[in-house]
Amino acid sequence: MQQINQKLIESLREEEHQNTFTQLTSSSNNHNQSIFNVAENDVFTNQYFLPRNITIIGGYGRMGKFFTNQLLGAGHQVNAIGNSDWENADTLLAQADLVLISVPIEATVDIIKRAAKYLNPDAALADITSLKAEPVEAMLKYHPGPVMGLHPMFGPNVESFAGQKIVICSGRNDKAFQWLLELMQTHNGDLIYCTPEEHDRMMVMIQATRHFCRLTQGVFLAQEEVNIDRSLSMSTPGYRNEIDIVKRLFKQSPQLCVDIMLATEERCQAISSLADTYKRLANLVENKDREGLIKEFAQAQSFWGE
């Protein structure tokens, strides 16, 4: 246990979270005393603010570290499991009140299956993957206890849940997660409830096709060797916003971007259809078909209610 906590401390130190790992390394007595001091405030007398024991699988990753910091800051005990920590899984998972899975999309179901055999039947199990139907189905299949799918609609660079959307997909026994949902709401997070199936349909457009558009734009600008700084010096606000979004995309892991686009057949088909739309409109431009372009614009204009 000390070895796992020390690894998490070192990982957090790299992110310069001095307050977080100071709390993590404090003694059990001091930690409990701090929780009881906080509990003197009426809002923390609610059962949902009692300290929990949490294990994050993938806790050394950037999003795993974000959740670690938020949960530690709320007075909970947090342990992490990385690729080399599975020899401690029987202890870290068996004692956990909540196990949070924060791993790449393609590994999520295998990790759920691998972790479930160690869990207490009453432990809460959740994932934060950008795909929901398959992970929630797997959690319900392999774990008899409380299950919930979460999708933070933000990256790990934010400082808190404040102003951020988190999609919530019920699985089983939502009450077991009420303390976690209230923590997010207390920090001004915006919780959006939907089914796993609706989530995945929406993410086709919200994530997959948008990633493809931004990837295409970024690749094109790099291919044309555009002087971005010079272009920004004479740009419109809209162009600056678009460039900022493209820059943020290329600060991410390429594996993450690609996995989001390729996660389901539905996403691949939607991106293919979008590419066909690009090609159709590009052909109109190439042929200088003014009337054809105006017709396309007018048809879309009616959809947007303009």
pLDDT tens string 117-170: 999 999 999 999 999 999 999 999 999 999 999 999 998 889 999 999 999 999
Q: What percent of the chain has pLDDT over 90?
A: 78
Amino acid 84: pLDDT = 85
**pTM for the complete prediction?**
0.80
Query: DSSP string of 123-164?
Result: -EEEE--S--HHHHHHHHHH--S-EEEEEESS-TTSSSSTT-
Tokens of 120: 């207490």
Among 219, 218, 278, smallest CA distance to 247 is for 218
Count of beta carbons in the 10 Å neighbourhood of residue 145: 18
Amino acid 134: pLDDT = 97
Contact 86, 80 (CB under 8 A): no
Contact 51, 73 (CB under 8 A): no
Burial of 179 by CB count in 10 Å (0-12 exposed, 13-18 middle, 19+ buried)? Answer: buried
Alpha carbon distance 139, 242 (integer Å): 38
Amino acid 305: pLDDT = 84
Amino acid 40: pLDDT = 38
Quick one: average pLDDT of 197-208? 97
Amino acid 85: pLDDT = 85
Alpha carbon distance 24, 118 (integer Å): 24
Q: Is residue 191 over pLDDT 90?
A: yes
Quick one: average pLDDT of 271-285? 97
Mean per-residue pLDDT of the chain? 87
Quick one: average pLDDT of 175-202? 97
Contact 169, 196 (CB under 8 A): yes
Tokens of 169: 């997909």
Q: What percent of the chain has pLDDT over 70?
A: 84
Residues 6+ apart with CB under 8 A from 154: 164, 165
What CA–CA distances, in Å, run from 182 to 44, 47, 116, 169? Answer: 11, 11, 25, 15
Amino acid 306: pLDDT = 59
Amino acid 264: pLDDT = 93
Look at phi and psi of residue 143 and say left if phi exceeds 0, alpha if psi is from -120 to 50, else beta.
beta
Q: For residue 8, what pLDDT band results from cuts at 50, 70 and 90?
A: low
pLDDT in tens, 203-247: 999 999 999 999 999 999 999 999 999 999 999 999 999 999 999
Contact 124, 148 (CB under 8 A): yes
Alpha carbon distance 203, 170 (integer Å): 17
Amino acid 33: pLDDT = 39
Amino acid 10: pLDDT = 55
Q: Is residue 17 over pLDDT 60?
A: no
Alpha carbon distance 41, 45 (integer Å): 7
Q: Name which residue leads in pLDDT, 37 or 52.
A: 52
pLDDT in tens, 65-123: 999 999 999 999 999 999 888 998 999 999 999 999 999 999 999 999 999 999 999 99
Q: Which domains does the chain have, with CATH numbers?
A: 2-194 (3.40.50.720), 199-303 (1.10.3660.10)
Contact 191, 181 (CB under 8 A): yes
Amino acid 18: pLDDT = 42
State the chain's maximal CA–CA distance in angstroms. 76
